[in-house]
Structure 1
Amino acid sequence: MTGNEEPVLLHTVGRAAHITLNRPRAINALNHAMVRRVDDALTAWEHDPAVETVVLTGAGERGLCAGGDIRVVHDDARDGDGTAAAAFWRDEYHLNARIARYPKPYVAVMDGIVMGGGVGVSAHGSVRIVTERSRIAMPETGIGFVPDVGGTHLLGRAPGELGTLLALTGAQIGAGDALLCGLADHYVPSTSLSHLLDDLADVPVREALDRHARPAPEGELAGRREWIDSCFAADTAEEIVRRLLDHGDPAAKETAETLLAKSPTAVKATLAALRRARRLGSLERVLDQEYRVSCAALTTPDLVEGIRAQVIDKDRDPRWSPATLADVTDADVERFFEPLGEHELGLTGPDTTESADTTESADTRLLS
């Protein structure tokens, strides 16, 4: 590939270096080569004194990034030995951690669709911008998978049980709710994005934001906090569903029906992963856990079946195995968290005491 056919385009304008994800027909879905190219660019720019800001955008009109290239994962899980998918995740999760600790402002323009792996390359950044077109989600339970790319870390830190709702149901949210849930920092109308990007070439990030950021439109989740927090605080997925069905609010019942359509195994593994992520504290420790969970998912029938139903055949009629939440045992869930020995992701050592209180996050870095 040459020129504009490259899946990642790199260029600098003034003080800003730009990464453009460039697979618009696939809504810029990430593959392994793209992850490596972004990481190489971050390495070069980290040590380049002429680069003061890094900016991430997506080509086309549909969105920043629809996620990872799950067709590759499907084929590897169905026909291969899982090594290709595991190698992709290893580099992807290392990139997610790097973005969170990047020493220069990392401005992610989360315009349009931002899902799964797209959240991983944007929501860990130090400056996360949403627009009225933003549609953000971690939809993994719908394909028999579990939120990864640091998603359980991000959602575990959302207010109340909003993150549990988003993780289990895969619900899409707009700009206002993304700000409420801590997945974004600033709202900029889409008509102002080009002006913002132009200004980043010449002025510090904070000054550019002062010129173009506006109050976000109100979201939907704040008005639903009462039933979301009370229902999703339950200890088991079955109890969450029971509370939703018994609550009386039509939106709660609709949420229960949405949840029950997801992979029962993935729902239970996701709930366990999210609760454990809250206790783990740092992003790196959570990514280590997510790598174990992702590798385990490769051996489950639901991952292949979920991707088949949603992406390959598109019949939207997955046949989950086991078929109900009640049929998924504690042992079925626990196997997702088994150590991988020498194959661990290894972002943190086995004896680390790193916690959320001692780990620098993108939220605490000063913009320049």
Structure 2
Amino acid sequence: MNAPSSDVPCEDAPVLLRREGRAAYAVLNRPRAINALNHAMVGLLSRALTDWEGDPSVETVVLTGAGERGLCAGGDIRSIHDDVTAGRSAAPAAFWYDEYRLNARIARFPKPYVAVMDGIVMGGGVGVSAHGGVRVVTERSRIAMPETGIGFVPDVGGTYLLTRTPGELGAHLALTGSPVTAGDALLCGLADHYVPSERLPELTAALAELPAADAVRRYEAAAPEAELAEHREWIDHCYAAGAVEEIVDRLHASGDRRAEEAAETLLAKSPTALKVTLAALRRARELPDLEAVLAQEYRVSCALLDAPDLPEGIRAQVVDKDRRPRWSPAELARVTEADVARCFTEPAGGPLRFG
């Protein structure tokens, strides 16, 4: 991802931290796992932000990812699977507690926080980038919240971001888990600037010498067109329905090939995750700020630790890779309103708190 190299002694550290000029750089450094986040990385980033916020010589923070595949593929879901199946649900809950607090910290960070969203940026990768003040995408960017495919729900503030997209684009992305490229990321408010990937080395170097706005302005270019814009009519109509079943029916009836494909995509996802996701999005629209949404997501995430679909979805997608999850229940009609409501109750360990 053309990231600056680190000057810390241990090049195997999961986050490489360095200072140069007016900027501080954090490089997510697990390239073989597309820099998937674990609890140690969350702690390193959080402590670095504390140090840099209080250091007057740091004027800009820059986040990049090691390797050529992407900024961050999300949380380390294999470890979540291992913990849940071994009866260690407290471990992922503790990870989310600190991760969501980090997401909120990034959103309110008082200095320019430049996230280079090059390549794959999914799940937890969105959480450490799309809440930043300066978000850069490239022609290689592929941004997604694919959680419904593993029996989970968009988190890390994803339901906050996706309820603030034009029309029902956010509901489409949240339920299908479909990735977007640079133009659509800008349309949906997930990014701010387009910089061709070949210019990233110059941009990251310039951030050490120039104010963030000036450096980005020097290297940004006209973004590609947003592909989703031409599909707004059927997306807005179909996803405005009151229930997932009705969304699927409207997609099938729309007569648009892309809508039909979206319907088939939804029918392959976890029925429970779909219904909880739609409820979370609708509730998030009524919440006052990001922290309130993160607190709701924490309740939902903890509740899903006790549901069968999360470990089963991770098994099918990441562990055994058979891509044949056995959802329970397997049909949308069998997921009741009570099942959904249970996911919004306070966890036994207490609520997510900030400050």
Equivalent in the alignment of 2:233:
226
1:186 aligned onto 2:193: yes
CA contact (8 A) 2:26 2:62 kept: yes
Partner residue, 2:215: 208
Q: CA deviation at 1:342?
A: 5.6
Q: Secondary structure at the match of 1:333?
A: helix
Alignment match, 1:297:
304
Q: Is the 8 A contact 1:67 1:114 kept in 2?
A: yes
Deviation at 1:215, TM superposition (A): 1.1
Q: Distance in 1 between the 2:216 and 2:41 partners? A: 28
Whichever residue aligns with residue 300 of structure 1, its letter is A
Match of residue 122, structure 2, among 84, 109, 115: 115
Instruction: Count residues in correspondence.
Output: 348
> 8 Å contact 1:287–1:347 — kept in the other structure?
no
Question: 1:81: how far off?
Answer: 3.5
Give the CA deviation at 1:80.
Answer: 1.8
Aligned partner (choices 92, 100, 110) of residue 103 of structure 1: 110
Match of residue 52 from structure 1? 59
Which amino acid in structure 2 is aligned with residue 209 of structure 1?
A: V
Verify: 1:240 aligned to 2:247, yes or no.
yes
Shift of 1:341: 6.1
Choose which of 177, 195, 211 in structure 1 pairs with 2:202.
195
1:251-293 alpha-carbon deviations (Å, 9 max, x no partner): 0000000011000000000000011001003000000000000
For 1:134, the aligned partner's letter is S
Cα distance in 1 between the residues matched to 2:225 and 2:284: 29
Query: How far does residue 219 in structure 1 lie from its aligned partner after superposition?
Result: 2.2
Aligned to 2:92: 85
Q: Distance in 2 between matches of 1:99 and 1:80?
A: 32
Select 1:10's aligned residue among 14, 17, 20.
17
Consecutive unaligned residues in structure 2, runs of 5 or more: 1-7
**Does structure 2 conserve the Cα–Cα contact (< 8 Å) formed by 1:305 and 1:319?**
yes
Of 279, 283, 287 in structure 2, the residue corresponding to residue 276 of structure 1 is 283
For residues 13 and 342 of structure 1, what CA distance do their matches in structure 2 show? 41
CA contact (8 A) 1:238 1:325 kept: yes
1:116 deviates by 0.1
The CA distance in 1 between the partners of 2:291 and 2:110, in whole Å, is: 16
Match of 2:156 among 144, 149, 154: 149
Tell me, in whole angstroms, the C-alpha distance in 2 between the residues paired with 1:124 and 1:99: 6
Query: Following TM superposition, by how much is the alpha carbon of 1:153 offset from its aligned partner in structure 2, in angstroms?
Result: 0.2
Which of 130, 148, 171 is the matching residue for 1:164? 171
Alignment correspondent of 1:311:
318
Partner of 1:61: 68
Q: CA deviation at 1:61?
A: 0.1
- Write the deviation string for residues 45-87 of structure 1: whole angstroms up to 9, x where unpaired: 0010110000000000000000000111111211123100000
- Root mean square deviation of aligned Cα: 1.1
Contact persistence 2:303–2:347 (CA under 8 A): no
CA contact 1:288–1:347 (8 Å) conserved in 2: no
User: In structure 1, the residue corresponding to 2:121 is in which secondary structure?
Assistant: strand
Alignment partners' CA distance in 2, 1:209 and 1:96: 23
Which of 339, 346, 352 is residue 345 of structure 1 equivalent to?
A: 352
1:89-142 per-residue CA deviation (whole Å, 9 max, x = no partner) reads 000000000000001000000000000000000000000000000000000000
The whole-number CA distance in structure 2 between the counterparts of 1:328 and 1:154 is 26
Q: Which runs of 5+ in 1 are unaligned?
A: 349-368
Contact 2:70 2:118 in 1 (8 A): yes
Of the candidates 41, 47, 53, which is equivalent to residue 40 of structure 1?
Answer: 47
For 2:343 and 2:317, the matched residues in 1 are separated by: 23
In structure 2, distance between residues paired with 1:57 and 1:327: 43
User: For residue 265 of structure 1, what is the aligned residue in structure 2?
Assistant: 272
**Contact residue 285 and residue 347 of structure 1 kept, 8 A:** no
1:347: Cα distance to partner? Answer: 3.2
Letter in 2 for 1:77: V
Structure 2 CA distance, aligned partners of 1:295 and 1:341? Answer: 9
Verify the 8 A CA contact 1:161 1:228 in the aligned structure 2: yes
Identity over aligned pairs, percent? 70
So what's the TM-score if we normalise by structure 2? 0.97
Letter in 1 for 2:54: H
Aligned-partner residue type, residue 303 of structure 2 = A
- In structure 1, the partner of 2:329 is 322
Question: 1:124 aligns to what?
Answer: 131
Quick one: which amino acid aligns to residue 100 of structure 1? A
